[in-house]
Amino acid sequence: MRHYDTTELSGWLARAFVACGMAPEAAQAGARVLVRTNARGVETHGVSRALVYVQKLRSGELTPRPDVRYEDREGVLHCHAGSGLGQAVAPRVIDEAVARAAHAGFVPVIIHDVGHLAALGMFALQAAEAGMIAFISQSTPPVMALPGSTGAAIGNNPLAFASPVAGGPPLVFDIAASGVARGNVLAAAREQREIPLGWAIDAEGRPTTDPKAALAGAMLPMAGHKGIGLAMMVQCLAGSLSGALPASVTGGAAPGSAPARVGAFLFVANPELVAGRAAYDAHMAGWLAAYRQASGAEGRYPGERAARLEAERAKTGIPLPDGVVNELRTVGETTGVPFTQEPLAQTAAD
């Protein structure tokens, strides 16, 4: 593991996206999201996805300069994303929803035809940093099934929510319905190491520790039928309401790692208008205090560790394994924007 400066890495990735045809502002937004994802400790959904996004931008599966438009319909804001890069489109959608929530209190949004959003918590965090509560979910192609299944039955359909916390970092919770994110299996395949039993099944429905067999099979849901139920909830909200028909999980440069043209559902709520800011903050403080007291000295709420890690990595850089660095070099060769960043001289252990 070598550490790389976040600002330099973000600037380089933005230039690579521009070389793929993206507008500079959108490229910078997408790069910032991916690098910040790593900075907050979500290694599987940050810059490790850069290569497949570049491949999809260059192939036309993602549209470098999408025609993003909004439509108000029956109290719901619809965003037609034009197959744009998710990390560039979603921040714009959150900004729009936050602006509307300043007057409407509660803003439901459906995003149509958007690229893979990866770490959904990044967008919920964006809203929470603006003082809002947010929930976001995304449909994915089928990648998950119960034991014994001979094919992927449903997406692992991630969801995230976030809330501002007076006097502390936002609470941010981000999960997929599978026991672990599929990105962990992709990382294991890249690094040629086994995965634990219980993560996935092979194409015959048998438990496997081989990541390649897992990628050909299906992820296992968390908590059995409960994980399937969560995935179905997201499928209704983000899939069926948007009418998303994402590309096949077996197509593209990295099967299943970054599906294009998916659907998403989110809402942004303004505590000031719904409950009163002071009342909301006081209630949050009360139940978080009880939670901390019951959890002991090491207890923390979701989002605290990520905030500390982000502050630390702003100084020490983000750690990247050689496999990811090699993929970034491939991005540089592919786009004509060479990856020449040198690792920081001094690194800190994670």
pLDDT in tens, 89-103: 999 999 999 999 999
3-state secondary structure of 289: helix
Instruction: Name the DSSP letter for residue 178.
Output: B
What six digits make up the tokens of 300?
Answer: 């923390």
Distance CA 205, CA 152 (A): 9
The β-bridge partners of 4 are: 318
pLDDT-derived band at 257 (thresholds 50, 70, 90) equals low
Distance CA 221, CA 286 (A): 33
Round to whole Å and give the CA distance between 156 and 141.
8
What digits encode the pLDDT tens for the residues 212-245? 999 999 999 999 999 999 999 999 999 999 998 7
Tokens of 49: 């996805």
For residues 279 and 199, give the distance between their C-alpha atoms in angstroms, rounded to a whole number. Answer: 42
Task: Provide the b/e sequence for 310-344 (b: ≥16 CB within 10 Å).
Answer: beebeebbbbbeeebbebbeebbeebebebebeeb
* Region 53-58 average pLDDT: 97
Enter the tokens of residue 102: 């300043």
Q: Which residues pair with 69 in a beta bridge?
A: 80
The yes-or-no verdict on residue 187 having pLDDT over 80 is: yes
Between CA 62 and CA 259 the distance in angstroms is 10
Q: Mean pLDDT over residues 114-131, rounded? A: 97
- The domain 63-277 is placed in CATH, from the list 2.30.30.40, 3.50.50.60, 3.30.1370.60, 3.20.20.70, at 3.30.1370.60
d(CA 31, CA 85): 10
- C-alpha to C-alpha distance for 187 and 189, rounded to whole angstroms: 5
**Which has more pLDDT, 347 or 186?**
186
Kindly report the average pLDDT of the chain as a whole number: 93
For helices 322-335 and 6-19, give the axis angle rounded to 10 degrees: 40
pTM of the model as a whole: 0.93
Nearest to 93 by CA among 77, 105, 72, 82: 77
- Percent of the chain surpassing pLDDT 70: 95
Alpha-carbon span 22 to 27, nearest angstrom: 6
How long is the chain?
Answer: 350
Q: What local confidence, expressed as pLDDT, does residue 245 receive?
A: 72
